[in-house]
Amino acid sequence: DIQMTQSPSSLSASVGDRVTITCRASQSISSYLNWYQQKPGKAPKLLIYAASSLQSGVPSRFSGSGSGTDFTLTISSLQPEDFATYYCQQSYSTFITFGQGTRLEIK
C-alpha cells in the first residue's frame, strides 16, 4: 500500500497567517492527490483535487501544488473558519489511503 505522511501533525497559527501543510507519498503518485478539510463532528469537505485543482465553491485562498511524492496545501491568509483538521488522500492506487491528518489550531 501507498503510505501518506503529513507534516506537521499539528500547527498553531493566527488569523491572517500564511500556512503550508505537506503531504509525502511513499512512492510516486503522479498528481493523484486530494485534500480535505474536516471540522469537529462534520464530514470531510473536498478542497483540492488532482493536486492543484480547486473544488467548486472553495475559497481561492486555498491552493495545492506538487507531483510525484511531495505535495503541499497552502492557505494564503487564514480565516477563523479555517481552523480544522486537514487530510491528504491518494487515488493513484485502487487501495485508497489517507494521511494521518494535520490539526490547525488558533494561536
Partner 1 sequence: QLQLQESGPGLVKPSETLSLTCTVSGGSISSSSYYWGWIRQPPGKGLEWIGSIYYSGSTYYNPSLKSRVTISVDTSKNQFSLKLSSVTAADTAVYYCARTVTVSDAFDIWGQGTMVTVSS
To partner 1, the closest distance from the beta carbon of 4 in angstroms equals 10
Residues whose CB is less than 8 angstroms from the CB of residue 6 and which lie 6 or more positions away in sequence, other chains included: 21, 22, 23, 24, 86, 87, 88, 99, 100, 101, 102
Joined together, the cell numbers standing for residue 96 give 485508497
Is 50 a binding residue for partner 1 by CB under 8 A? The answer is yes
* Binding residues among 71-100 for partner 1 as defined by CB under 8 A: 87, 89, 91, 94-100
Is 32 a binding residue for partner 1 by CB under 8 A? The answer is yes
Using CA atoms, how far apart are residues 95 and 92, in angstroms rounded to an integer? 8
Summarize as ranges the residues that interact with partner 1 (CB under 8 A): 1, 32, 34, 36, 42-46, 49-50, 53, 55, 87, 89, 91, 94-101
